[in-house]
Chains A and B, each alone.
Chain A
Amino acid sequence: MRYRYQSAEKVYNITIERKPSGYLATIDGVPFEFEVLSAQPGELSLRFGDKTQNITWAADGSRRWFSMQGCSYVLEKPTRRSRRAASEIADGDTIHSPMPAQVREVMVSAGEEVQKGQTLALLEAMKMEIRIQAPRNGRVLHLPIVQGQPVERDQVLVVIA
C-alpha cells in the first residue's frame, strides 16, 4: 500500500508490504525492514534491525503527531488546501497575535506614525502582559482591534505601511 506524508514543504512517498518475517517499508524508494513488536492505539513499538523504537502518536484530522526518543514531529497528509496555506505566509508588516488573548489596551490609532519598538497594543493572557511592538518605522494602515476584545492566535492585530 502507498502513503504520502508531508513535513514542512517536503512530501514523502511511503510503501509498506508484508514479508515472511515482518514488513518492508520504502521511503522514496529506500528500503527499511522492520517488525511490529506491539501496536496499541496511539503507541507503536517497532524493531528496525536490533534497535527498538517506541513511538507515540496522535491524529488530528489530516495531521499526525509523533514522539520518539523525546523529540516531537508533526506530519500532514498532503492536500490542496495545505499547499495554499503555505503560500499565504504573512509579510513582515502585518502583526499577528502570538496566542489567544484579550486586548487590554490599544495605544495607537489608524493613520498614526509609529517608531520601531514603539508599543502599539497590550494583550493579556493567563494574567501575563504581552507587549505588541512596531517592527519598524511606519504608519498604522489598519487596526482591526479594540480594547477588551478577545483575539485568536494568528489573528491580525496591526498592519503597518
Chain B
Amino acid sequence: MFSKVLIANRGEIAVRIIRACRELGITSVAIYSDIDRRALHVRLADQAIHLGPSEPDQSYLSFEKIIQAARTSGSQAIHPGYGFLAENSAFARAVQEAGLVFIGPSPTAIQLMGDKGEARSLMAAAGIPILPGYQGIDDDQTLFHFAKKIGYPLLVKASAGGGGKGLRLVSGSHELYEAIAAARREARHAFDDQRLILERYIPNAHHVEFQVLGDQDGNLLHLYERECSVQRRHQKIIEETPSPLMTGDLRDRMGAAAVSAAKAVGYYNAGTVEFIVDPTTQEFYFLEMNTRLQVEHPVTELVSGLDLVQWQMRIASGEKLPFNQDQIIQRGHALECRLYAEDPAAGFLPMTGDIYRFLEPRGPAVRVDTGVTSGDTISIHYDPLIAKVITHAEERVGAIRKMQAALQEMVVLGVQTNWQFLQDVLAHPDFQAGKVHTTWIEENFEGWQPPDCPLPPEVLVAAALTEFQSVSGSQAPPGITSLDPYNPWRVPNGYRSGEAA
C-alpha cells in the first residue's frame, strides 16, 4: 500500500478521499488554489501545497504543477477525484511517465471511453446495445443528412462531452442548425474539442448506471445499479439504489452488459457504465462509461457495504479483489440528494456567496459528504455543490422519509440553495412511486416557485435577541461572536433553563 497520496482535487470529494487515506494509514497531500487557501480539504489534509491562482487551468488543471507537487511531497500516487483531470488520459499518462501511480483505470481505457463516438463503435462491436445514431465525420452537411435518417427527437452531443455540456435536445429539423452551433460552441469551450455525434432520443427514459470495480489481474465485478433519473439541465440531483424500475431479469442483463462493456476496454479500478432504459419496453442502451469515481458513489457504498475510495487505492497499489460477484449483495435502499448553491426558480442558476452558517443533519444512517463549513465561500470558480446528503434504510420509503427529515434539519444561511426544491421533488407522488424519468423535472416543475414563508413572530423576537448576543463590529466573524457580558441570561442569579425563577 502507498504511504503518501496526493489528492488532485478540491471540495467534498477531496475531503472524502482524505478520510479514506486516513483510514488506510496513508499520509494525504492536498493541493489548493488562492481562493481555497483556507478550504476544508486544506484544513483536513496532513499536508497541503499551494498551486497558484484560482482559475482552474492555473491550479487544479495544471499537469506540471500537480506532478511537481507530488514529486516534492514524496507522494507515490495521485487520486484525481471526479471532474478536473479525472478523465484526462494525457494526465493519467503523464502521471505514469513521472514514475507515479494514477489511481484509476489505464490511460488507454480513459481515452477509448472518453470519446463518445469511439465508445459507441466499440460497444456495438462488443455486443452492447447502443441507440441508433451517428458518429464520424461531422460537418454540418453530414449531420443534417444523418439527423434525417435517425429521426426526431434526437440529441446532439459533444463527442468529448460530459456533465450535460455540449448537449442539445432537438425536437425537429427547424431546431437542428441552432442546436449544432450551440453544442459546438459549448464543446469547443469546455473540452477544446468541437466534434459532435447524434443519438436518437427516447422520451420518458430512465438513467440507470452500473458501478463496476476491477483489479489489475482481470477480475471485474459490478456493484449493482444506481437510478439517476432526477435531473435538471442534464445533471443529476437525486440518485438512489436499487432502481425502482429494476426487475431481477433486467438487473442480470444490465449487470452482465456493464461488465462486458468494461472488459472491452481492459478496465480496472472503479468505473460506471451508464445506460438509458426505456420503461415501456424494458430495453436498455449504452450511454457512456465514466472512467472515474462518481459523485453519487456513496449510495452504492451504503448498500454494498464496500468503501469504493479505499478499494480504488487498494487496487491501484496492486491488491486483488478478495470477493466474487456472488458475494456482492444489495442491502436496503440508499438515497442521495445534492444540495447546490443555485436558484431553482431562475433556471437553476448557480449562486455564489458566503456561507455564514452551515449545519449538517444528524441521525442514524444519515451521511453528509461536504467540502464546506460555516464561514466558507461558494465562488464563481468551481462547482456550486455544497453537500451531498445520503440516507440508508431498509426500504425505499424509509430512505425517502429519512431524507426528508434530514433535509429539514439542515441549515445553510447566506447562500440560496435548492433545499426547498429537493423537498418538493421528494414529496411529489411521481417520485414516491418511482416513476421519474430524465425530463420529468422540466415537465413537472416548469415555473416552480418556492412557497411563501410568511415572517413568523418568533423570528422577529430572535432578531431582537441577536443584539444581546453579538458584539458589533465588522471584524468579528458573523454569528460566531463572543457572548455579550450584559446578555440577560448570563447575569448572576439570572434565568436558567429548566429552573423556577
List the interface of chain A (C-beta within 8 A of B).
1, 3, 5, 7, 12, 14-16, 18, 20-23, 25, 27, 30, 32, 34-39, 41-42, 44, 46, 48, 53, 55-61, 64-73, 75, 98-101, 104, 124-130, 153
Contacts and interface: CB of A to CB of B under 8 A. Distances in A.
Contact of B413 (A16, A41, A65, A69): A65
B397 interface: no
A46 B349 contact: no
Nearest to A104: B189
B413 A72 contact: yes
A83 to B, nearest CB: 18
B479 A27 contact: no
3 smallest beta-carbon distances between A and B, as pairs: A58-B356, A58-B479, A42-B479
A5 B412 CA distance: 22
A66 B467 contact: no
Chain A CB within 10 Å, residue with most, of B182, B351, B466: B466
Nearest to A10: B455
Contact of B466 (A7, A57, A70, A72): A57
B458 A36 contact: no
B408 interface: yes
Interface in B346-368: 346, 349-352, 354, 356-357, 359
A66 B459 contact: yes
B425 interface: no
B350 A69 contact: no
Chain B CB within 10 Å, residue with most, of A3, A23, A70, A72: A72
Interface in B375-421: 380-384, 407-408, 411-414, 419-420
B336 to A, nearest CB: 19
B408 to A, nearest CB: 5
Contacts of B456: 68
Chain B CB within 10 Å, residue with most, of A1, A98, A126: A126
Interface string B435-478: 00000000000000000010111111111111111100010001
B455 A60 contact: no
Interface stretch (B68-76, B224-232, B318-326, B482-490): B482-490
Contact of A41 (B185, B412, B483, B489): B483
Given A46-B458, A98-B349, A126-B383, A56 B357 contact: yes
Contacts of B463: 3, 5, 14, 57, 64, 66, 75
A39 B460 contact: no
Contact of A42 (B357, B408, B455, B489): B357
Contact of B460 (A5, A20, A129): A5
Nearest to A129: B186
Contacts of A21: 500-501
Nearest to B483: A41
Chain A CB within 10 Å, residue with most, of B233, B411, B481: B411
- Would you call the interface of chain A mostly helix, strand, loop, or mixed? strand
Contacts of B413: 56-58, 65-67, 72
Given A59-B478, A73-B455, A38 B497 contact: yes
Chain B CB within 10 Å, residue with most, of A35, A55, A69: A55
A129 B470 CA distance: 41
Contacts of B351: 99
Contacts, number: 165
Given A5-B464, A59-B479, A37 B497 contact: yes
Chain B CB within 10 Å, residue with most, of A23, A41, A98: A41
Contacts of A20: 501
Nearest to B186: A129
B480 A39 contact: no
B461 A27 contact: yes
Contacts of B488: 18, 23
Contact of A70 (B408, B455, B480): B408
B317 interface: no
B466 to A, nearest CB: 6
Given A25-B461, A46-B465, A48-B458, 7 more contacts: A5-B460, A14-B461, A18-B495, A25-B457, A39-B468, A41-B479, A65-B414
Contact of B495 (A3, A16, A22): A22
Contact of B465 (A16, A56, A127): A16
B474 A7 contact: no
Nearest to A76: B463
B190 interface: yes
A101 B465 CA distance: 38
B404 to A, nearest CB: 10
A70 B407 contact: yes
B464 A126 contact: no
A32 to B, nearest CB: 6
A137 to B, nearest CB: 20
B410 to A, nearest CB: 8
Nearest to B417: A72
Given A38-B497, A70-B407, A100-B352, A57 B346 contact: no
A75 B463 CA distance: 8
Contacts of A59: 356, 466, 470, 478-479, 481
A21 B233 CA distance: 54
B462 A39 contact: no
A64 B356 CA distance: 10
A48 B456 CA distance: 12
A45 B480 CA distance: 16
Contacts of A55: 458-459, 462
B459 A127 contact: no
A14 to B, nearest CB: 4
B219 interface: no
Chain B CB within 10 Å, residue with most, of A22, A66, A129: A66
B457 A36 contact: no
